Amino acid sequence: MTSDLTDVPNIGPATARALIAAGVPDSAALRGIGAHEAYRRLLMAGERPHFIGYYVLHMGLQGRPWNDCKGSEKDALRVRFDALVGEVRGTPLSGIEAELDKIGLRPTDRVT
Q: Between helices 27-44 and 13-21, what is the axis angle to 10°?
A: 70
- Which band of pLDDT confidence, cut at 50, 70 and 90, is reported for residue 111? very low
For the stretch 77-92, pLDDT in tens is 999 999 999 888 875 5
Cα dihedral sign for 19, 21, 22, 23? Answer: positive
Classify 5-102 by CATH class. mainly alpha
The radius of gyration of the chain from alpha carbons, rounded to an integer in Å, stands at 14
Q: Is the pLDDT of residue 54 over 90?
A: yes
Helix (H, G, I), strand (E, B) or coil at 78: helix
- Give 29-33's long-range contacts (Cβ < 8 A, gap of 24+): 30/5, 30/57, 30/61, 31/61
Total-model pTM: 0.77
31-44 average pLDDT score: 96
**Quick one: what percent of the chain has pLDDT higher than 90?**
72
Question: Where are the alpha helices (H) located in the chain, listed in sequence order?
Answer: 13-21, 27-44, 51-61, 71-89, 95-102
What one-character DSSP code corresponds to residue 2?
-
